[in-house]
Structure 1
Amino acid sequence: MMIEVPTGDLKRVLGVLLDHAAKDGVLRVPDAAFWSVPAPAAYDIYQEPSDLTIGMVSDSLDNLAAIIRDPDRAIDHGLVWLAEVLRAAGDGAST
């Protein structure tokens, strides 16, 4: 089942959350390694994932920077990289 999410709503809430978390227009994100569970295993809650990978926040940021420099490089997986950065920012905000 797919859920339709209006992109305008996502843009608005992202703006609100970034304004809340960012100081002086800069979001401070810990550069850390993290466990990643690739799709589709991440969405199969009845099976323990066996194909864990390790990611780096700085690698995700580098991939996003490449998209900013050349928007033709945008791919759907870019949303995963963005989510990884936002997750680090949200988790790092409490440490």
Structure 2
Amino acid sequence: MSEGTEIPLDRLREVAELLLAHVERSGGSVTLERDLFWELTPEQLVAMADDPDRVVGYGLVWLADVLRALGHQALG
């Protein structure tokens, strides 16, 4: 069984910075065609307060959704 794919964080940061720099050259912000914001239930907020790692997890999921929408928009 495979153990998964390991991606060094410095490489991930390098790629993200290159891509965002490219997008930034066209302006200081981006306008997404869809509303990607979500709300957390009171139970989820309590769970996040009890476990700061969940804040990171939710933040990464949100960022992934925003970057995916930005990529699809860039593709046309």
Show the counterpart of 2:56: 75
Which residues of 2 match residues 22-61 of structure 1 at below 5 A? Answer: 22=24, 23-26=26-29, 28-32=30-34, 56-57=35-36, 59=37
Q: Which runs of 4+ in 1 moved over 4 A?
A: none
Alignment root-mean-square deviation, CA: 2.5
Instruction: Give the C-alpha shift of residue 89 in structure 1.
Output: 0.7
**Matched residues in 1 for 2:31 and 2:6: separation?**
29
Q: 1:20 aligns with which of 19, 22, 44?
A: 22
Which residues of 2 match residues 79-90 of structure 1 at below 5 A? Answer: 79-90=60-71
Please state which structure has a larger fraction of its residues in strand.
1
Please state which structure has a larger fraction of its residues in helix.
2
**Matched residues in 1 for 2:13 and 2:20: separation?**
10
Q: 1:4 aligns with which of 3, 6, 10?
A: 6
Higher-RCO chain (CA-CA 8 Å, sequence separation at least 6) = 2
**Matched residues in 1 for 2:6 and 2:31: separation?**
29
SS at match of 2:56: coil
TM-score (norm 2): 0.61
- Percent identity between the two aligned chains: 34
